[in-house]
Amino acid sequence: MTTGQVQLISVLKACPNFAAAGGSISPCKSPTTLVGPPELKLPTSPPLPPRLHSEYQPAWVRTPSAAKSRFRSFGNPFLDIFFHAVGDTPTIRKYLKQLLPFAWSLNPLTTLKVICSLQRSSENVPAFAEPGKFEELLEVLYRNVDVNGEGMRRMVRTREYEYHLELIQEKVDCGGRIGSNKRKEMMDMARKAVEMYKRDPNYQLLHERVSDLYAECLKSDIQNLKEYEKEKMADVVELRLTTAARWCPSVDSYYDRATLLCESIARKVFLREKGSQGVGVEEEADYGFRVREQLMNEVLEPLRRFMNQCLYDDDDDFPRERRSYAVKKYWMDVKAGNSKIEGIAMRPDEIICRANNRNFEQLADPQWKAMVEEIYLKQGKLKNCLAVCDVSGRMCGHPMNVSLGLGLLVSELSEEPWKGKVFTFSRNPQLLTIQGDDLKSKCVFMRRMDNQDWHGDVDFQKVFDLILEVASNENLKPEQMIRRLYVFTRCQDFDDASANNWKTDYKAIQRKFKEKGYGDVVPQIVYWDMNDDYLIPWVRYAEQGVSRMSGDSNEFVQFLLDNGVFGPDHVMEAAFSGKQFQSLAVVD
């Protein structure tokens, strides 16, 4: 196993700016002298015996009876894990123990991606941690020290529906002193952490590599911040910082006490002078205590203060201004004739978002037209389709932009008589012709469709009646019938959105289409619920005539543009297309 490969796996996601700048983590040196707080006196303990791996017979078809009755296999272990292993129950755990070894024997890399995708569900947090993210590296380290300590961690939900760790800060008494019971608890935690570090070589290696990553990124970040503060950088956009300071545990926080990670990081950021080797345990502990405070005061606090001021983005590891700056620069270059508009440079939802921004709206139209033309010429998979667009109050932010963008795109890619048409999301749906001279005015028209007798659900039989009415009036041939009906909504299942029982409706729809000579070309519904669990995409083909999609992600949008329709394998492929999965590798 080469050190470089292991380092790269971590750095690519957790520290992309550091890696992009040519940084690399130093080769693993001799282990850090981890001794804990000065008052800690450790007893000598024998080394842990080698870990035993239970044997497993790779017969993944021998699924536990409870899981077998609950899940219907796709005939593919990767799809079975991806779609069925949602939640943290004894049944799910047994299910995973059966499937994972067999899946690994078939394709280790795909299995690794499936494992990493499972943690993206809020229900799977107790069982999985996302690889390569600073906060999750800390979580992995902590779980190795305290396997049963999940109750000490609390998850909080942010406005972006992301889940992050809340580092628990212990309270002190009113006198500002830590009570004797709390002091004993702290010492017990420190003793356990040091014993684990000294006795388990696997944990020691993990601890060293995590602290290496934090230390290298923090050193790079604080140096870059100092350069910026000396006005050697013209703009904050040029400043490249990671989120290491944000996710590094604070000194004496719960995670620091459980892992002593701050001590390891501090020793690597503030190296001891040469010739100081061979000092006693007490002096070494005093040094560790001093550099921890130095790490907090001279590195973590300045970086955190600056990041809070500059509104750093949790996902992209750089100031939010940089994204706007890059888009603005691209569009200004286009306007000045220095660059050519690229149709695939932006997704429909991104262009819709910019169309409502006064800094970019003047270039939204040419960008939109270039995208439509390129998709029409190169793909054509969205031709002759219609959309039912929910534009109600629940469709705020990204879901609204997706509904408007894809609904408008589908209408413009279609041929007459479907071109420029869209359905309202209503019990009394209407097939409207989108009005407007430019992209912004068309979006305004579509946003007002929620006033068209909106009830929160759709009578799909009436939608199909309107489709059949147009086809009959225009004497369309079967091949001119629309192929798919996209439904874009949020936070409601298909059964909730359907005003009537779908099985009953679909039988009536099939009968009516057959009577008019279109029995073999009944349009397929693609129902997309852009719910809050945007990182858990799934599809189900259990019902005739409808494909259900759930989740909200950029990969979903792009995959829909590329393929037009989803199957279970498409959903998994779309989930794995994100940049966080591209850095994964299996090193033997």
Sheet harboring 385-389: ordered strands across? 431-433, 421-424, 385-389, 484-489, 524-529, 546-550, 538-540
End-to-end CA distance of the chain: give it in Å, rounded.
Answer: 6
Select the more confidently predicted residue: 150 or 341.
341
Q: In this model, does residue 86 exceed pLDDT 70?
A: no
Rounded to the nearest 10 degrees, what angle do helices 180-199 and 201-229 cross at?
110
- 395-410 pLDDT per residue, tens: 877 788 889 999 999 9
CA 523, 527, 528: angle at the middle one, nearest 5?
145
Q: What is the dihedral of CA 63, 534, 560, 370, to 10 degrees?
A: -160
SS3 402: helix
SS3 25: coil
pLDDT attached to residue 432: 94
d(CA 88, CA 124): 6
pLDDT attached to residue 542: 47
- 161-176 pLDDT per residue, tens: 222 333 333 333 333 4
Every domain of the chain with CATH number 3.40.50 lies at 383-581
d(CA 246, CA 324): 23
- 520-571 pLDDT per residue, tens: 999 989 888 887 554 444 555 446 788 877 766 666 676 677 666 666 677 6
Confidence band of 154 (pLDDT split at 50, 70, 90): very low
Confidence band of 463 (pLDDT split at 50, 70, 90): very high
Residue 566 near residue 539, CB atoms below 8 Å: yes
d(CA 471, CA 461): 15
Q: In this model, does residue 497 exceed pLDDT 60?
A: yes
Q: In sequence order, what are the beta bridge partners of 156? A: 164
Helical ranges in 484-566 per DSSP H: 494-497, 502-515, 554-563
Confidence band of 155 (pLDDT split at 50, 70, 90): very low
Q: In sequence order, what are the beta bridge partners of 157? A: 163
Average confidence (pLDDT) over 501-518: 93
Select the more confidently predicted residue: 530 or 451.
530
Select the more confidently predicted residue: 111 or 34.
111
Q: In this model, does residue 84 exceed pLDDT 80?
A: no
Residue range 383-581 in CATH 3.40.50: yes
| Residues near 140 by beta carbon (within 8 Å), at least 6 away in sequence | 129, 206, 210
Beta strand residue intervals within 425-557, DSSP E: 431-433, 484-489, 524-529, 538-540, 546-550
% residues pLDDT > 90 (the chain): 18
Distances from the Cα of 424 to the Cα of 237, 451, 456, 474, angstroms: 42, 9, 11, 22
